[in-house]
């Protein structure tokens, strides 16, 4: 699909696109983008929720590690040695990790 866009309108669409619900059109075709220039109740309106707050890589890693440890502990009935085996890490490293994550 080749289109030129200015503001809320598409100009010169060569092909339709099912994502936008645009029919195939010639070079002179003009289409409103879905949800623009129309009522808020329009069925093509795309709504987006609030964006999550940015998370640092360190925070994301800690969150993922915490979830993995919690799941391993749950699957092993809170047996730390068995949880370490599930995570394929040494039990002493699991204890250090849990302490760093504030789980111990």
DSSP state, 8?
T
State the sign of the Cα–Cα–Cα–Cα dihedral 14, 15, 19, 23: positive
Could you tell me the residue ranges of all domains in the chain? 1-40, 57-100
Cα gap 94→80, rounded to integer Å: 8
Phi-psi region of 91 (alpha: psi -120 to 50; beta: other; left: phi over 0): alpha
Confidence of residue 17 (pLDDT cuts 50, 70, 90): very low
Query: Is residue 100 pLDDT above 60, yes or no?
Result: yes
What is the per-residue pLDDT across 31-90, written as a single tens digit (0 to 9) for each?
Answer: 455 555 555 444 445 567 788 778 899 999 999 999 999 999 999 999 999 999 999 999
Least confidently predicted of 1-5, 57-61, 99-103:
1-5
Cα gap 104→93, rounded to integer Å: 13
Q: Do residues 94 and 85 touch, judged by C-beta distance below 8 A?
A: no
H/E segment holding residue 5: strand 4-6
pLDDT of res. 49: 76
Q: Do residues 15 and 24 touch, judged by C-beta distance below 8 A?
A: yes
């Amino acid at each position: 699909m080749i289109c030129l866009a200015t503001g809320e309108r598409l100009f010169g669409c060569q092909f339709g696109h099912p994502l936008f619900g645009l029919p195939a059109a010639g070079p002179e075709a003009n289409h409103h983008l879905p949800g623009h220039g129309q009522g808020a109740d329009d069925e093509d309106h795309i709504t987006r929720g609030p964006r999550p707050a940015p998370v640092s890589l360190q925070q994301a890693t800690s969150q993922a590690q915490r979830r993995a440890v919690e799941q391993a502990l749950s699957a092993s009935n809170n047996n730390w040695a068995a949880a370490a085996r599930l995570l394929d890490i040494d039990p002493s490293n699991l204890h250090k990790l849990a302490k760093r994550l504030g789980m111990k």
